[in-house]
Homo-oligomer: A and B are copies of this chain.
């Protein structure tokens, strides 16, 4: 147990310093390692395996909704980036510029894609000619670069991995439906697979993606009460199509501009998982994305038959879950701490006494519950327990969000909450940008979204007292 204590002591506690706790977990669970380029990280095998699981599930969901994967180049010529005015204004300040190929200066600078709308538009112009060519429902899994000043692993890095969906449609209605469809896919993914409740809504004009007519978002609440934008889906109208001169001949034999969307989720989701479910013992992983779902730890491993039994159970379970047996010569206590740190959902302990009784002990990572399970029932019990861990994590996160969601009807109340109570603040809003700016300035909060599920909290805007148009979620955000 000495080893266990040592290990646990190495992490800063959440209450002491949440930011340091986060960094400790990210490093000690071996998710990432820093590099000599600020804001660019190595995603280590354990971190990357989480991403592979995320990719695998999301990719199936995209394909089930009719999308195809493609791959665009990573470079965007400056003139191409410049074609859509709002878009270039939003991104130009934070792109990395390639100016030389080998020893030769390039005729035109190329930026490393911060996002790929302009590349998709150039491609659409080449391949979309008739309404028969529509819709195109594309996605790509790539990395993008945004030259951020302050960086944090997964949450804000200069290079990050993501998927970007890009679609183009005959009508505005179809494109709008697609935008909402993919937001719903994102929300379902977060809630079902990451066990992370999200608020679905639309961003205010101020918070929109550069070039979008509407940006939809899912917002999650982290352990420390800060909000995390976890996925966005954008409706572009025909603005990009006009800027890039994309035309198709319609059913009426006339030329029309098509309508576009884009939507993205990133490795930021790994940060969201850490800060939603983690605790002072380290990572807590939702089973659907855990690289190892069950870790088998032999107890009194030197006793006859224990290692063999551990290996036998591993083989037995390998068809129904991602399972490993740690048969190394480290102490059981060290192993307990190690796999708690790594957030493995279930620990299966098997020792001589258990073998005698034809049972094992299973310990849930989410609530540390100890369960004795007959070895004959293992194959039905494990999937049930993995599901129970997912439900336990989801419900705990949902309860915490309920406890940390506050309502304000006037400025004094709002400022008091913003100063003293971390979490979401729900308040009415008149719809004016000025009030949004004022709340940011005076209370240090930003609008997260206008949630789809509206409530009438008051008649007037929390800020200016004019008639209210919407209920908004506000918060401090990552």
Give residues in A with beta carbon < 8 Å to B.
Answer: 33, 35-37, 40-45, 48-49, 51-52, 68-77, 80, 92-103, 110, 112, 119, 122-123, 126-127, 138, 142-143, 145, 147, 158-159, 161
Roughly how many angstroms separate A74 CA and B97 CA in the complex, as a whole number?
A: 14
Given contacts A45-B69, A48-B69, A48-B71, contact A100 B101 (CB under 8 A): no
> A37 contacts which chain B residues (CB < 8 A)?
73, 75-77, 110
Question: Do A100 and B99 touch (CB < 8 A)?
Answer: yes
Question: Do B48 and A101 touch (CB < 8 A)?
Answer: no
Q: How far is the CB of A432 from chain B (nearest CB, A)?
A: 30
Given contacts A97-B98, A98-B112, contact A41 B138 (CB under 8 A): no
Question: Do B45 and A70 touch (CB < 8 A)?
Answer: yes
Roughly how many angstroms separate A102 CA and B148 CA in the complex, as a whole number?
A: 9
Question: Do A70 and B98 touch (CB < 8 A)?
Answer: no
Q: How far is the CB of A68 from chain B (nearest CB, A)?
A: 4
Report which of B40, B74, B95, B101 forms a contact with A73, defined as CB distance below 8 A.
B40
Roughly how many angstroms separate A304 CA and B101 CA in the complex, as a whole number?
A: 62
Question: Do A145 and B35 touch (CB < 8 A)?
Answer: no
Roughly how many angstroms separate A52 CA and B70 CA in the complex, as a whole number?
A: 10
Q: How far is the CB of A3 from chain B (nearest CB, A)?
A: 16
Roughly how many angstroms separate A111 CA and B58 CA in the complex, as a whole number?
A: 32
- List 30 A-B residue pairs with CB atoms under 8 Å apart, sorted by A's residue number: A33-B126, A33-B127, A35-B119, A35-B123, A36-B80, A36-B122, A37-B73, A40-B74, A40-B75, A42-B119, A42-B123, A43-B70, A43-B71, A45-B68, A49-B68, A71-B143, A74-B143, A75-B96, A93-B102, A94-B101, A95-B102, A96-B98, A96-B101, A96-B110, A97-B99, A97-B101, A98-B98, A98-B99, A102-B147, A112-B112
Residue of B nearest to A43 (CB): B71
> A52 contacts which chain B residues (CB < 8 A)?
69
Q: How far is the CB of A323 from chain B (nearest CB, A)?
A: 15
Residue of B nearest to A140 (CB): B48
Roughly how many angstroms separate A70 CA and B43 CA in the complex, as a whole number?
A: 6
Roughly how many angstroms separate A41 CA and B49 CA in the complex, as a whole number?
A: 29
Roughly how many angstroms separate A100 CA and B74 CA in the complex, as a whole number?
A: 16
Roughly how many angstroms separate A438 CA and B364 CA in the complex, as a whole number?
A: 70
> A74 contacts which chain B residues (CB < 8 A)?
40, 74, 112, 143, 145, 159
With most chain B CB atoms within 10 A of its CB, the pick from A98, A110, A127, A147 is A98
Question: Do A73 and B42 touch (CB < 8 A)?
Answer: yes
Question: Do A138 and B45 touch (CB < 8 A)?
Answer: yes
Question: Do B112 and A73 touch (CB < 8 A)?
Answer: no
Question: Do B99 and A94 touch (CB < 8 A)?
Answer: no
Q: How far is the CB of A42 from chain B (nearest CB, A)?
A: 5
Roughly how many angstroms separate A101 CA and B109 CA in the complex, as a whole number?
A: 12
Roughly how many angstroms separate A44 CA and B184 CA in the complex, as a whole number?
A: 26
> A69 contacts which chain B residues (CB < 8 A)?
45, 48-49, 52
Question: Do A73 and B35 touch (CB < 8 A)?
Answer: yes
**A-B pairs, 9 with minimum CB distance:** A40-B73, A101-B147, A45-B68, A97-B100, A43-B71, A99-B99, A93-B102, A96-B98, A102-B147
Q: How far is the CB of A43 from chain B (nearest CB, A)?
A: 4
Residue of B nearest to A110 (CB): B37
> A71 contacts which chain B residues (CB < 8 A)?
42-43, 48, 51, 143, 161
Question: Do A93 and B99 touch (CB < 8 A)?
Answer: no
Q: How far is the CB of A252 from chain B (nearest CB, A)?
A: 20
> A77 contacts which chain B residues (CB < 8 A)?
36-37
A37-B110, A43-B70 given. 14 additional CB < 8 A pairs? A35-B73, A36-B80, A37-B76, A40-B74, A42-B119, A42-B123, A45-B68, A45-B69, A45-B70, A74-B143, A93-B102, A95-B102, A98-B99, A102-B147
> A97 contacts which chain B residues (CB < 8 A)?
98-101
> A119 contacts which chain B residues (CB < 8 A)?
35, 42
> A147 contacts which chain B residues (CB < 8 A)?
101-102
